[in-house]
Structure 1
Amino acid sequence: MHVAPPTELRHHALLFTFSHSGEKRRQRHAAVAADSSGSSFSLTASLMRLSKHIKYENLAAGLSGGVISTMVLHPLDLIKIRFAVSDGLKMRPQYDGMMHCMKTIWKVEGIRGLYQGVTPNIWGAGASWGLYFLFYNAIKAYTQEGRQTELSAGEHLVSAAEAGILTLCLTNPVWVTKTRLVLQYNADPSRKQYKGMMDALVKIYRHEGIPGLYRGFVPGLVGTSHAALQFMTYEGLKREQNKYKKMPSESLLSPLEYITIAAISKIFAVAVTYPYQVVRARLQDQHNNYSGIVDVIRRTWSNEGIEGFYKGMVPNLVRVIPACCITFLVFENVSRLLLGEYH
């Protein structure tokens, strides 16, 4: 019997080891590829399922509510932003209160002054509410697909947060533009930095690039918690009201019930999350330079204390509560009318 020398045995052993490890690598790569392919297929399948729940009637209804409420209440939004950024700079007009602010703007700039920035506000509010209701209802229906049980408060919260992130990614440049336009204090049009919405968009992009159009995006992401809390509360109160009336959870309520539920949910959300709006407005303001969110928080706390984070909240509540009530009332009725569910 022939016995191979030790060197030959080692050679065969090495060949077997390399061959075996190579086979293992090929198996791992194949498994990774299969897993990647499976994940890609799963994502595509999920998106296809989600797309089936998209109803453009919700987009139209949300857009209608956002546009109507904005046209009625824009002056209060302008006042809220001017108070939010009032950090003591001498270039800013000084106001003693809401009525004094409104009278001053009216005296210096007239009705045009009270409606500065209304165009991007209409675009922003219309698009935001329309897209938000579109995404939210699609995600909610997708989550509930094949289930008999109602969504929990946590699932409503997550659905609303996901819808908010998607909406913010598409609309942040419009909100930057609106903030810049309402913070033009000079009554002389020739001395204003921006002539209108498109002029502001072009100039911001030209001088500050994409980062300029997405100023305030991170606090805006934090702000999605505001809408998420609002929608979670709104859905819960709506369900409880129908349960109290011994009606199905999605039954149509009266206008007064929608208004009351919308107001309560908005007050709760504002009380919890308002400081992010101050931080966001100050980041988007062209009259002051902050290095980032931490810098805004540090300087606001140092110069103004806790009150600095709640500046403009009263005019904000005066504006957002009726705006929210109008938006939700219009959405609930228009969406059901367009979807053929109005009885």
Structure 2
Amino acid sequence: MTSITKPQHQPITQKVTLFSQVKLEHLVAGISGGVTSTLILHPLDVIKIRFAVNDGRLQTIPKYNGIINAFTKIYRQEGFRGLYQGVTPNVWGAGASWGLYFMFYNSLKNWFKEGNANTNLGASTHLMLASGSGLITLFITNPLWVAKTRLCLQYSGQRNYNGMVDCFVKIYKADGVKGYYKGILPGIFGVSHGAVQFMVYEEMKKDYCQYYSQPLTTKLGTLEYLTFAAISKLIAAATTYPYQVIRARLQNQHYSYNGVVDCVRQTWGYEGWRGFYKGLGTNLVRVTPATMITFVTYENVSHWLLKYSEQKLVN
């Protein structure tokens, strides 16, 4: 008697789509990191912006001799509130920017890896994916950065806005929608900053895991994350800082330029190459620990959330 063998069904390979790789855990973790670092270090952001826009021509703008002098002078003249001018849009902007950036970046990265998180990607691919994520995030969040800059540039006796909402309303009345996108062009160039940072950070993590023969998804220690974040930020800041000066000056309500080229020309004419690096010291003092806090918070929160989600699926 002949036995009948049932045909063996081959497992169906599910196609990996971009949407299937979108994980809200990365969004939440990025927001957590951005908000935490912003609340701790916002006063340094205020000082950096005031250094960046001060080209010495307007006598009504306060002048500071270094970070400590700026901190004490602002506190003496404007109180604790002065050090936290613009903190609301900064918290919203940093939270949204980091959350969206991490979500978009990881979604694109995992899509390129076809769902296999341990697939190696090259430096150029990391750079491309980070650039794409940065452009999307920039267009969504630029209005928040315009509001933050203007609120940070409210000096004692020169207050034009009563908070973030009032700032948005007055910007719209004065300039319409285009007012929310002042400084967008140098911001687009500035996407290179995040791209360089993420590329260096990812490459260092990859090399570290390969050196110790670990999977790319291995959760590293806090010291490793802090070190990689600091080095990647220093490299990115040193190579792309001038765009931040140009963007801040274009968003400055106390002075008007006829576009990016005019701003670059005037900065060079009045201050030379040093003008493009105004506030760099303050920026490095602020962004290096800010990035370290952001990335360590993100890595730990995202690993915990992803692990929790996986356990829920198993149960």
User: By the TM > 0.5 criterion, same fold?
Assistant: yes
Q: Establish whether residue 68 from structure 1 lines up as the match of residue 75 from structure 2.
A: no
For 1:63 and 1:297, locate their aligned partners in 2 and report how far apart those are by CA, in whole Å: 33
In structure 2, what is the equivalent of residue 84 of structure 1?
52
In 1, are the aligned partners of 2:233 and 2:288 still within 8 Å (CA)? yes
Which 4+ runs in 1 deviate beyond 6 A?
Answer: none
Q: Establish whether residue 305 from structure 1 lines up as the match of residue 272 from structure 2.
A: yes
In structure 1, what is the equivalent of residue 121 of structure 2?
151
- Structure 2: which amino acid aligns with 1:69? S
User: Which residue, out of 322, 331, 335, partners 2:289?
Assistant: 322
In structure 2, what is the equivalent of residue 277 of structure 1?
244
In structure 2, what is the equivalent of residue 252 of structure 1?
219
For 1:317 and 1:303, locate their aligned partners in 2 and report how far apart those are by CA, in whole Å: 24
More helix as a share of residues? 1
Measured after TM superposition, the shift of residue 246 of structure 1 is 2.0
For 1:54 and 1:149, locate their aligned partners in 2 and report how far apart those are by CA, in whole Å: 17
For 1:203 and 1:336, locate their aligned partners in 2 and report how far apart those are by CA, in whole Å: 42
Q: Establish whether residue 131 from structure 1 lines up as the match of residue 84 from structure 2.
A: no
In structure 2, what is the equivalent of residue 13 of structure 1?
none
Measured after TM superposition, the shift of residue 149 of structure 1 is 4.2
For 1:310 and 1:185, locate their aligned partners in 2 and report how far apart those are by CA, in whole Å: 22
Unaligned runs of 5+ in 1: 1-45
TM-score between the two structures when normalised by the length of structure 2: 0.91
For 2:248 and 2:125, locate their aligned partners in 1 and report how far apart those are by CA, in whole Å: 30
For 1:312 and 1:301, locate their aligned partners in 2 and report how far apart those are by CA, in whole Å: 16
User: Which residue, out of 238, 241, 253, partners 2:205?
Assistant: 238
Measured after TM superposition, the shift of residue 150 of structure 1 is 1.1
For 1:278 and 1:287, locate their aligned partners in 2 and report how far apart those are by CA, in whole Å: 15
Post-superposition CA distance 1:243-275 (Å, at most 9, x none): 222211221111011000000000000000000
In structure 2, what is the equivalent of residue 119 of structure 1?
88
User: Which residue, out of 112, 131, 135, partners 1:161?
Assistant: 131
- Structure 1: which amino acid aligns with 2:107? A
CA 1:151–1:109: 2 relative to 1, 3 Å: same
In structure 2, what is the equivalent of residue 55 of structure 1?
23
Q: Establish whether residue 287 from structure 1 lines up as the match of residue 287 from structure 2.
A: no
In 1, are the aligned partners of 2:21 and 2:115 still within 8 Å (CA)? no
In 2, are the aligned partners of 1:239 and 1:250 still within 8 Å (CA)? no
For 2:287 and 2:30, locate their aligned partners in 1 and report how far apart those are by CA, in whole Å: 16
For 2:142 and 2:49, locate their aligned partners in 1 and report how far apart those are by CA, in whole Å: 16
CA 1:75–1:146: 2 relative to 1, 3 Å: closer
For 1:146 and 1:75, locate their aligned partners in 2 and report how far apart those are by CA, in whole Å: 41
For 1:279 and 1:233, locate their aligned partners in 2 and report how far apart those are by CA, in whole Å: 25
For 1:65 and 1:169, locate their aligned partners in 2 and report how far apart those are by CA, in whole Å: 21
- Structure 1: which amino acid aligns with 2:23? K
Unaligned runs of 5+ in 2: 1-14
For 1:160 and 1:293, locate their aligned partners in 2 and report how far apart those are by CA, in whole Å: 24
In structure 2, what is the equivalent of residue 172 of structure 1?
142
In 2, are the aligned partners of 1:225 and 1:273 still within 8 Å (CA)? yes
Percent identity of paired positions between Structure 1 and Structure 2 = 55
- Structure 2: which amino acid aligns with 1:277? Q
Q: Establish whether residue 198 from structure 1 lines up as the match of residue 165 from structure 2.
A: yes
Q: Establish whether residue 104 from structure 1 lines up as the match of residue 73 from structure 2.
A: yes
For 1:237 and 1:160, locate their aligned partners in 2 and report how far apart those are by CA, in whole Å: 15
In structure 1, what is the equivalent of residue 6 of structure 2?
none
CA RMSD of aligned residues (A): 1.6
Task: Give SS of 2:216's match.
Answer: coil
Measured after TM superposition, the shift of residue 143 of structure 1 is 1.2
In 2, are the aligned partners of 1:158 and 1:228 still within 8 Å (CA)? yes
For 2:283 and 2:193, locate their aligned partners in 1 and report how far apart those are by CA, in whole Å: 14
For 1:192 and 1:308, locate their aligned partners in 2 and report how far apart those are by CA, in whole Å: 26
Higher Rg of the two aligned structures: 1
Q: Establish whether residue 228 from structure 1 lines up as the match of residue 189 from structure 2.
A: no
Task: Give SS of 1:49's match.
Answer: coil
For 1:235 and 1:293, locate their aligned partners in 2 and report how far apart those are by CA, in whole Å: 32
Task: Give SS of 2:161's match.
Answer: coil
In 1, are the aligned partners of 2:198 and 2:232 still within 8 Å (CA)? yes
Q: Give the length in aligned residue pairs.
A: 294
For 2:96 and 2:31, locate their aligned partners in 1 and report how far apart those are by CA, in whole Å: 6
For 1:125 and 1:242, locate their aligned partners in 2 and report how far apart those are by CA, in whole Å: 29
In 1, are the aligned partners of 2:30 and 2:98 still within 8 Å (CA)? yes
For 1:206 and 1:317, locate their aligned partners in 2 and report how far apart those are by CA, in whole Å: 35
For 2:115 and 2:236, locate their aligned partners in 1 and report how far apart those are by CA, in whole Å: 31
In structure 1, what is the equivalent of residue 151 of structure 2?
181
Task: Give SS of 1:339's match.
Answer: helix
